[in-house]
Every structure is written in C-alpha cells, then in structure tokens.
Structure 1
Amino acid sequence: MMKISVIGCGYLGAVHAATLASMGHTVVGIDTDADKAARLARATAPFFEPGLEELLAEGRATGRLVFSTDMALAADCDVHFLCVGTPQSKTSGVADLAYLEAAARSVGRHAKAGAAVVGKSTVPVGTVHRVREWLGREDLGLAWNPEFLRQGTAVKDSLVPDRLVYGVADDDGGTAAARTLDTVYAPLLQAGVPRIVCSFATAELIKSAANAYLATKLSYINAMSELCDAAGADVTQLSAAMGLDPRIGQRYLAAGLGFGGGCLPKDIRSFRAQAQELGVDSVDAWMGLVDAVNEGQRGRVAALAADLCGGDVAGRRVAVLGAAFKPDTDDIRDSPALDVALRLAAAGAHVVVTDPKAINNAWLRFPQLEFEPSLPAALQGAELVLLLTEWPQFRAIDPAEAAFRVRRPVILDARNVLDAAAWREAGWELHGLGTGDALRARACA
C-alpha cells in the first residue's frame, strides 16, 4: 500500500480520498478551506452524496484517512492527486485553471524527489505541460488520470469504475508513472476494470469528449420533444423505439427539462473554447447548438407554465418540485429547476420550491424565492405544480391526496416520469414535454 495525498477535497477529491483509503492506502486530504477539512476529518460530508459518509467513517476508524489544511503533512507521500476545481471563467467559456496552478505550485514546493503527481481535474488539452512548469521540478513523475464520476452515484463509480485512463509521456518516465498508477489501482485492476494508457492530450480530451457526447444525446432528444409537440407525436415512445437500436441505446435519451450541474455545462463550453482555439469550426458550432437547445428548454418550460395559467403567471401560486440539478445530490449549480423558478418569480408568480436535500443551499443563494421543506405544505393552495427534478419522493406522490391540497389540479411534468393515467384518473390535468398533449391552458379561477 502507498501513502497518497489528494489536493482539493471538494466533490471529486473527497470521494477519491475516501475511495483510496478503502482500498488500503494511507491518504491525507488537503484543502485550503479549514471548515471543509474539519468536517471531513469528522467523517461529515460537506455535501450530500449517497454512501460517502459511510466511506469517510470507515477511513477515519481505520486511521488511513485524514484531512488537513497543512500541505507539509503530504511531504512524504508517494503520489499526489490534483483534484481541484476547474470552473468556467467568469468572462468566457474557457476553464479557469487558477486553483490547479496554486495546487501544482504547492506540490512542487513540498513533494519529495521521485514522487508522482497525477491530475484528475477536467482540463483543456495542453494543460499538462503547464502543470509541469508550475511544479518547477524535473524529479517528479507526471500523469493524467481523468475522473468519470456522476453525482448521485459517485461512490459506486469510484469503487467500480467503467474504466481507468492513464495519460503519460511516451518515455521511461511515462512507463514508471503507469506502473505507479497500477499499484494505486491494483484492487480495481484485479477485479477486471479496463485500463487504457494513452498520451497526455488524449487523456485531457477524453472527459470533455465523453460529456460532449452525453450532452448531445440529451439535447437531441429534447429537440425531438419540441418537434413531437408540434407534430402531435409522443417523444417517450419515440425514444423507446430509438433506444432499442443497439447503435443508439436508451441511456441519456429521456426528454425533459435538460441538464445542469457543475460539470456538463461548463465542460461543453470549455470544449467549445478549445475547438475555437484549435480552429475546429465544426465542433465549435456543434457544441454551441447543444448548449443552445439545453438553455432553450428552460425558457420553453417557463412559457408552458404561463400558458397553463392563461398566459400570465403574475400573482399565481406555483409549486416547484425540485431545486437540485438532478436527484440524489444537493448541488444547485446551474440547476434547470431553479432557473425556471427564477424566471417565473421574475414574471410575478408566487413560487414555492421544495426539495429533499437542496433547500438550504438554494435558500442561501436565492433569497427571493420561497422554500418549503415539507412537500404537502409546498403543494397547499398551488394553482400550478411543476415537477422539475425527478426525485423518487416526487415520483411517489399520491395524486389523489395531492389533489386535495392544491387549489387547481394542474401539473407540468417536465421530466416525463409520472404515471400520466393515474394522475388524470385522480382528476389532474397533466402535461409533459413532447408527449403529444395539446396544451389547452385553462384560465385560472
């Protein structure tokens, strides 16, 4: 087993550190945020992720996992993983590498000779060469090992990944770095996880390329949902038939409100910026269209909500089910649900938002909205209900009971996950996206 540091203990780093400790390594997680480091040291996750606190508690109990703000504690580590954030720049679509630069320079000052530095952050192609400069040393090994975590299933994705990718140099140093990573991931390799060794540039591109493809599928089926509404077709049947083609597959082919979060949107914008810089106009245009379709879904849902209130939501009580950008997380970054809620509030609606996990995060960020932790209370007196995040708790709502709470039983299922027949039988007027409904918006009484 090895001694490993994980630099940056946000979403990626905390999960990665806990996973490495569960494999038997001794791990020190380093973060500049003292409160975050202290919470992780107590085995308390600073964000909601199923299974993470159990993994943190296991690492703490065995003594193999510690967290600190003191980089000196990582000085004798054999491997340093760079797991800091690479957010979108505030002025353009490019990735902001300031945190990565600070982490690399810190490792360069403290790492022992011969240690390996392994990047996991999602970065633009060519970043590895800059990291080498920031390290300021030639006696450190270097590799890029992109992550493929999905929020809500990150622990599982770390313990049983689909693949391991090593980006290394084409020389003896690269061979040594690959051997080091083989030692780190020995339990996974022994379990048969596929391993791909490639160039730095390929490793840098692969996460963004994968996310760009997933975003393309989502935006494509959402564009089809708008076409289905115009044609009177049903996008759920359309996608089911398409998904049976093994060349296409069903995953990421569910029409709805669209994607958000801290990864997919900023990754496709960074990918687009890289294409622009490299002069690849086709990828630039393609990513621009994918992004535009995704953003357009939010405006489309807000417009449909207004239609269902007779053309104007001003003064209407609207219950929004969902604040997180997806289920099983409390992450509200670029949340489509909150985007729609804010649009309706700006149009004069009295918007009440409920969510099983993300209420506190959302309330701190958007005080102009009303938040209600109780689902029944959120539904009380609503003139329109919008299902915007497909939490299991919302899918399990008893439509008959819910009908007694609302003022007007009209719901827009913007994720197409409810049993439409059951809801209509309980007296609801239910509309989906691309399901062939003629939106006969009733004037609110």
Structure 2
Amino acid sequence: MKLSVIGCGYLGAVHAAAMASLGHEVVGIDVDEAKIALLASGQTPFFEPGLPEILTTALASGRLSFTTDIAAAADAEVHFIAVGTPQRKDAAGADLTYVDASVTSLLPHLAPGSLVVGKSTVPVGTAQRLADLIAPTGARLAWNPEFLREGFAVKDTVEPDRLVYGVDPRTDTEDTAVLDAVYATAIAAGTPRIVTGYATAELVKVAANSFLATKISFINAMAEIAETTGADVTQLADAIGYDNRIGRRFLNAGVGFGGGCLPKDIRAFTARAEELGRGESVAFLKHVDEINLRRRQHVVDLAVNSFDDHIHDHRIAVLGLAFKPDSDDTRDSPALDVAVRLTGLGADVIAYDPEAIPNARRAHPQLHYADTLDDALTGAETVVILTEWAQFRNLDPTETATRVARPVIIDGRNTLDPTAWHNAGWTYHGMGR
C-alpha cells in the first residue's frame, strides 16, 4: 500500500521505516529540514537499536522516502499522524498544536475514501473533533494508538503485542479492512486485534501508561517504607510478584520513571479528566507523580548524606543521563535531573552516558561530561548509578574500587549485587534495600 507518515520524530521515523520494511511504499514528511535530510541520507536523529539497519535497507529498496513537502502525501491511501503531543508550557494538559497543524496541512491533499490514522497520544475527544474536520474532504479517520518501548521500538512496530483500531461505527468494516491490510504481517502472525470506538482507542494508551506509572510508584512507595523499617524492597517485590494478579514486571524500585510518555501522559490525563468533570476518578495520579518526583530528591539526599551534608566541591560520578538504557532520550529524565540538582548544590559532578550526552549537553551545558566511563570514575568520591546500562550493571566492584578516591556507591536502579559490593569494600546504598 501507499502510506504517508506525518511527523518523523521518534514515533514517525520508526513507523515509516518499519512499514517500508514490511513492503509498503512510504513517504515520511516533517517540517524539520535538518531531520529530513538526516533520515534521507540513512542517518537517525536519535539512538534506537535496529532502526539504522531497517532505515538503510528500506531506503535502498526505493520503498521509503522523506520530504518536507506535504503535497507528497497526495497519492497515499493511508496517512499516519505521528507528531508529538508534549505537555503544555503553561499547564499540565497536552499541547495539540502539532496534531492540529498536521491535519490542517493535510486537508488539501486528502482524496475521498482515503484514511487518516492517528497514532499520537491525545486527550479523549480529540479524534471525534478531527474526524469532523476531515469529513468534508470525503476522507475518514481512525485512531490507532502506539505502544512502543524505547529500545525495542522496531520490534514493537513490526511485531506488536496488540493492535487497537478506533473507528467510526458507520464505516468500521471498511476502515478495519484497510488497517488489516496495513498490518497484514502482524495479523497473519496472530497479533490480537481490538476494534473499538474513538474514545476507547484514545483512552487505551493513557490508561496503560497510567497503570504502569502507578505500579512503579507503588513499589517506590514501598521502598520508602522499607528504608524506614529495614525491609528489603527487592525481596518484597519478588514475593508479591509471584501472585499472578500482580506480576513482577514494573515492580523495580529506583529513582523513578521519566521519558517523553509516562510523566506527561499522566499529567495530561489528569487535566482532561478535570475538564470532563471527573477529576476525582484519577486524582490518585497526582500522588503517583509526587512519589515519582520524590525519589529523585531521595537520591540527592543520599549523596549529600554520604558527605555528612558537606557536598560542596566533592567529586561525584553520575552514571547515566538517559531516562532508560538503550536510548538517548533525556526528556524528563530522573538521571539528568539528579545530576542537575547535585551540581546546583555545589558538588563537582562528572556525568557519563554512552549515548545521551549530546542531548543532555544541549539542555544543560553547565554540567561536566566525561568522554569515557573510566574518566567519570577516576577520582570519584561517590558513584551514583541512575540508568541501568549493561556496562554499569557489569562493573566489577574490586576493579572499580582501584579507580575511585572513595568507595561509596548509590545504586539508583537497584541493579547491582549489594553483597558483592560490600565484600569489595564499598559502602553501598540501594533504593529500599
């Protein structure tokens, strides 16, 4: 099929390349000339494992192209809207500027019978508004939320764990058939498919992210209790995780969640619920957000306490700046936030991340960044692990002790073996351990 993807950021670039790898003819469109030039040359504007390979292959096949000209979408049968919906600068709600602009710019190029498919995360009610806007062109609208995990985005696009189609009940059979053709490979592999209305499709993504955020903040709240009582939150998570009703995944206590989805999505969901007069239904999400932010300060407090409250000019190695491993995304990153807070208190912070330093430096040029892991560790008086990259998880405690000035480590992700580090002479601080 002929597809257009409007918006070539993280979601759009992955979706365009993945769809082309499945045999579709795809044009990716974005107003950012520099981004389009990079993608057209086979380079990615962000780090995502597996994306460079499918991008290069798709470009070489001739099935994938990129442009800044929205008119290039005119021949497409299906148009995917994959632009960002960041948090508004003046409020907690979602900023729909890019969604509205992309649909408005697409209107003159829509053909009767074509299908516009929203993938962006939007407040419930947005799809119906856009469907009404599109209707005079004879095109139709569907909503197909994305469920990508950074670091696994290519796999999650090519082999999704579920497909959700939000369609107009008057054209649901026709629209479902079109989307089934787009996702024919996944459908053939037995991927579960849920066909529903617009509102449910819009709520699926924010509900899923809200649940995951709640689960993470729950175990972090338990970590706070564990730290007070002398319990071990990791063993606690193991014990309750055996209950099939609870499950072990996302029960890892640490410095909290971040990134471009969970924080802004739970805030936007709360704001939209209040607009709908149902703020009390998701009022708990404000506490989820508060717990999450509190864990960042807890790591800062541990670092300060490790110097008996005299942190000024003491050298601290911060390992990790991305909000998660296998990503260079520093949006609302707990790791970067902790590094900034420690620097603000006068510590001599030297930060290292294998992929995220360029993004971190653009946002916070005042921080000191190490070129290598060894540079960050050398002479450090406290080491703080904030992103669970494999090279941090696999550090040898005995060898690492020879590089630092003082063997004190704060394991902000509970990724290390406390006994091994204690036995190697380290003072170890975990989260709720």
TM over 0.5: yes
Partner letter of residue 254 of structure 2? G
Letter of the 2:395 counterpart: I
Q: How many positions carry a matched residue from both structures? A: 433
Taking the TM superposition and a 5 Å limit, the aligned residue runs for 1:424-443 are 424-435=422-433
1:397 pairs with 391, 395, 398, which one?
A: 395
Does structure 1 retain, via aligned residues, the 8 Å contact 2:270–2:279?
no
Q: 1:357 aligns with which of 346, 355, 358?
A: 355
- 1:169 maps to 168
Partner amino acid, structure 2, of 1:267 = D
Aligned to 2:408: 410
Counterpart of 1:167, as a letter, is G
Counterpart residue number, 2:286? 288
1:216 paired with 2:214, answer yes
Percent identical across equivalent pairs? 57
* Amino acid in the other structure paired with 1:12: L
The 5 A counterparts of 1:111-130 are 111-130=110-129
Q: What residue is the counterpart of 1:51 in the other structure?
A: 50
Which runs of 5 or more residues in structure 1 are unaligned?
436-445
Contact persistence 1:105–1:136 (CA under 8 A)? no
Cα shift at 1:302: 0.6
2:103 aligned with 1:78, yes or no? no
Q: Once superposed, which parts of structure 1, at least 4 consecutive aligned residues long, lie more than 6 Å away?
A: none
Question: Structure 1 CA distance, aligned partners of 2:423 and 2:379?
Answer: 20
Q: Show the 5 A alignment for 1:289-308.
A: 289-308=287-306
- Which residue identity does 1:77 align to in structure 2? A
Q: C-alpha separation between the residues in 2 aligned to 1:102 and 1:138? A: 16
Note if contact 1:376-1:402 (Cα within 8 Å) is conserved in structure 2.
Answer: no
The 2-side partners of 1:267 and 1:225 are apart by 24
Does the 8 Å contact 2:134/2:140 carry over to 1?
Answer: no
Q: Look up the match of 1:151.
A: 150
Which residue is 1:141 aligned to?
140
Q: Distance in 2 between matches of 1:216 and 1:51?
A: 30
Partner of 1:60: 59
Amino acid at match of 1:47: F
Q: Does 1:197 align with 2:195?
A: yes
Cα root mean square deviation, aligned: 1.0
Query: How many angstroms does 1:307 deviate by?
Result: 0.7
1:382 partner letter: A
Alignment of 1:318-397 (within 5 A): 318-397=316-395
Distance in 2, matches of 1:296 and 1:264, equals 16
1:137 match: secondary structure: helix
What is the identity, as a one-letter code, of the residue corresponding to 1:169?
Answer: D
Cα offsets for 1:131-175 (capped at 9, x unmatched): 13443624001100000001111111111111000000111x232
What is the one-letter code of the residue matched to 2:13? A
Decide whether the 8 Å contact of 2:110 with 2:137 is kept in 1: no
Q: Secondary structure at the match of 1:237?
A: helix
- Could you list the per-position Cα deviations for residues 178-215 of structure 1 after superposition, in whole angstroms to 9, with x for gaps in the alignment? 11101111111001000000010000111000000000
Structure 2 unaligned blocks of 5 or more: none
Confirm or deny: 8 A CA contact 1:142 1:174 kept in the other structure: no
**Whole-angstrom distance in 1 between the partners of 2:113 and 2:288:** 44
* Equivalent residues of 2:271, 2:279 under 8 A apart: no
Task: Give the conservation status (yes or no) of the 8 Å contact 1:114–1:140.
Answer: yes
Normalised by the length of structure 2, the TM-score is 0.98
Q: Deviations along 1:355-392, whole A, 9 cap, x unmatched? A: 01001111121111100121111011111110011100
Match of 2:205 in 1: 207
| Alpha-carbon distance in structure 2 between the residues aligned to 1:63 and 1:138 | 30
Contact 1:322 1:390 in 2 (8 A): yes
Q: How many angstroms apart in 2 are the aligned matches of 1:112 and 1:44?
A: 32
Does the aligned pair in 2 maintain the 1:108–1:137 contact within 8 Å? no
Aligned counterparts of 1:152 and 1:313: Cα–Cα separation in 2:
35
* Deviation readout 1:306-359 (Å, 9 max, x if unpaired): 111111311111100000010000000001011111111111101000001001
Measured after TM superposition, the shift of residue 68 of structure 1 is: 0.6
Deviations 1:69-111 (A, max 9, x none): 0111111110000000011100111110010011001111112
Q: Which amino acid aligns with 2:26?
A: V
Q: What residue number does 1:15 align with? A: 14
Find the aligned partners of 1:255 and 1:432 in 2 and give their Cα distance.
9
* Residue 267 in structure 1 maps to residue 268 in structure 2: no
Q: What is the CA distance between 1:434 and its match in structure 2?
A: 0.4
- Are the counterparts in 2 of residues 107 and 135 from structure 1 also a CA contact under 8 Å? no
1:14-38 per-residue CA deviation (whole Å, 9 max, x = no partner) reads 0111111111100000000011111
CA apart distance, 1:405: 1.2
- How far has the Cα of 1:233 moved from its partner? 0.3
State the shift of 1:113 in Å.
2.1
Matched residues in 2 for 1:221 and 1:399: separation? 27
The alpha carbon displacement at 1:130 in A equals: 2.1
Indicate the residue corresponding to 1:441 in structure 2: none
SS of structure 1 residue aligned to 2:349: strand
AA of the residue aligned to 2:228: A
Shift of 1:244: 0.4
Secondary structure of the structure 2 residue equivalent to 1:348: coil
**CA distance in 1: counterparts of 2:99 and 2:359, whole angstroms:** 25
Within the candidate set 225, 250, 255, 2:223 is matched to: 225
Contact preservation (8 Å) 1:108, 1:136: no
My pick for the range that moved more, 358-367 or 315-324, is 358-367
Q: Output the CA distance in 1 between the equivalents of 2:27 and 2:323.
A: 30
Task: Give the AA of the match of 2:426.
Answer: W
